[in-house]
Structure formats: structure tokens, C-alpha cells
């Protein structure tokens, strides 16, 4: 069985969807075999509506899909650079295409996770994390990337309440990442996660 976190075997057949991201109407090229391949998913739309983009900084879009968050941030905030990472090679390819389409390819770097140098640190991490990979894998993913926050950095996560948003908030705090719910809408929790020791 294929999942959106696996690179699909079938040929790339693209289509488009348009979404309003931080007040900008953006059209994204998408395809089957990637997360939310046909539209802007509800969780990501809640995150983008509830959290404002920073004016500047080095950001991470963790699990970038087609690049909705990364491209949206780069278009809205000319002072940011964004690393967009995904284990799905098709998602990385589509994010590059969408960054090029919207003129932000020089500030959006779409890569596989192991292509990010270990010493890179981020001012902010943005993610609609892949909950369906399972709790242990999700915890490992977050514990891999959250330590890459700058000491005053913050992560913005959106998680479905029925998919464990509240328990994830408690777990993150227990791991030394002070976490607070900053919004709740349409069955989703938006979490602000501070760097460890903050």
C-alpha cells in the first residue's frame, strides 16, 4: 500500500489548485501520491490562517508536500528563506516547481531530509506533521528537527484534535519543549512549540 510519505512509482501527472495563502492567491501544481494532492488541506489552511508569517529569518517547512507553506511564506515575506523538506521525492520536485512558478526559487530550497546539513539552525519550523506515520515515528521526527531551532526559535504545528493534538502538546512539553495551544478551529489544534530550554 502506498502512502503520501513514500515516493510514488506511477508517472507524474500534474494538475493545479488555487489557494489563498497569507492574503495571496497562489496556484500550485500538484499530483497524485503527495499529501493533499488535490487541494489545500483543512489542517494547513487553519495553520496559515491562525499564524502570521515572520518578516525575516531562516525557516523550515517540515513535510512540505507541494510546498504550500514554504512558497506561501516566501511570497508573503521577502526577508525569509525556507528549507522545504519531505521524504517523498515527488513532493520535493513539486515544491521546486511551485517555488519557480511564484518567483521564490532562490529563497525556497526543497530537499530530502538527509540533504540538510546537520549544523543548520532555524528561526521557525512550520509543519502539518505526518501523524499517520505512527506515534513513535512522529516522535522521532519531531525530536530530530525541534533541536535544530535557534535558542529563541519557535515551531508552529497543526494537529487534528482527534488525531492526538492534545496528547502531543503534553508530550512535547514533557520532552523539554514548552508547548501551548494558540488556536483551535475546525477540529484542529495550532501549537506553538518553543526551543528546548526556552
Q: What pLDDT does residue 3 have?
A: 40
CA distance 104 to 84: 12
* Residue 53: strand pairing partners: none
Residue pLDDT, tens place only, 106-126: 999 999 999 999 999 999 999
Task: Confirm if 191 and 180 have CB atoms less than 8 A apart.
Answer: yes
Instruction: Count other Cβ atoms within 10 Å, centred on residue 50.
Output: 15
DSSP class of 198: -
Alpha-carbon distance of 38 to 16, in angstroms, equals 7
Pairing between β-strand 56-62 and β-strand 14-21 as defined by DSSP bridges: unpaired
The answer to whether residue 4 scores a pLDDT higher than 50 is no
Q: Which residue has the higher pLDDT, 77 or 10?
A: 77
Q: What pLDDT, on the 0 to 100 scale, is given for residue 2? A: 39
CA distance linking residue 170 with residue 31, whole number of Å: 35
- The yes-or-no verdict on residue 179 having pLDDT over 70 is yes
Pairwise CA distance, residues 150 & 148, whole Å: 6
In 3D space, the residue among 125, 176, 160 whose CA is nearest the CA of residue 43 turns out to be 160
Q: What is the pLDDT of residue 35?
A: 62
Residue ranges covered by each domain of the chain: 41-194
Predicted TM-score (pTM) of the model is: 0.91
Q: Where are the beta strands (DSSP E) in 86-141?
A: 108-111, 122-127
Question: What pLDDT, on the 0 to 100 scale, is given for residue 161?
Answer: 77
Sequence-distant (6+) residues with CB within 8 A of 135 are 164
Of 2-6, 36-40, 133-137, least confident by mean pLDDT is 2-6
pLDDT for 31 equals 85
pLDDT tier, 36 (very low <50, low <70, confident <90, very high otherwise):
low
Q: Which regions of 24-138 does DSSP assign to beta strands (E)?
A: 24-31, 56-62, 79-85, 108-111, 122-127
Which CATH topology does 41-194 take?
Rossmann fold (3.40.50)
Q: Which of 115, 96, 118, 116 is nearest to 107 (CA)?
A: 96
> Predicted confidence band at 130 (pLDDT cuts at 50, 70, 90)?
confident
Give the pLDDT confidence of 139-151 residue by residue, as tens digits.
Answer: 999 999 999 999 9
Residue range 91-101: mean pLDDT, rounded: 96
Letter string b/e over residues 134-169, b meaning 16 or more CB atoms within 10 A of that residue's CB: eeeebeebbeebbebbeeebbbbbbbbeebbbeebb
90 neighbors 62 (Cβ within 8 angstroms): no
Amino acid at each position: 500500500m502506498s502512502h503520501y510519505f513514500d515516493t510514488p512509482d506511477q508517472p507524474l501527472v500534474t494538475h493545479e489548485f488555487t489557494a489563498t495563502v497569507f492574503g495571496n492567491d497562489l496556484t500550485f501544481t500538484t499530483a497524485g501520491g503527495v499529501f493533499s494532492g488535490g487541494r489545500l488541506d483543512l489542517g494547513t489552511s487553519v495553520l496559515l490562517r491562525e499564524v502570521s508569517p515572520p518578516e525575516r529569518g531562516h525557516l523550515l517547512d517540515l513535510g512540505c508536500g507541494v510546498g504550500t507553506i514554504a512558497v506561501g511564506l516566501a511570497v508573503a515575506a521577502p526577508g525569509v528563506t525556507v528549507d522545504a523538506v519531505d521524504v517523498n521525492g515527488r513532493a520535493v520536485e513539486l515544491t521546486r516547481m511551485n517555488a519557480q512558478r511564484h518567483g521564490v526559487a532562490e529563497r525556497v530550497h526543497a530537499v530530502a531530509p538527509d540533504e540538510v546539513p546537520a549544523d543548520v539552525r532555524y528561526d521557525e519550523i512550520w509543519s502539518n506533521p505526518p501523524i499517520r506515520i505512527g506515534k513513535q515515528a512522529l516522535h522521532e521526527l519531531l525530536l530530530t528537527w525541534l533541536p535544530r531551532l535557534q535558542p529563541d526559535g519557535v515551531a508552529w504545528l497543526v494537529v487534528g484534535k482527534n488525531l492526538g493534538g492534545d496528547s502531543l502538546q503534553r508530550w512535547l512539553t514533557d520532552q523539554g519543549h514548552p508547548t501551548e495551544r494558540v488556536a483551535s478551529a475546525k477540529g484542529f489544534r495550532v501549537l506553538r512549540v518553543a526551543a528546548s530550554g526556552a
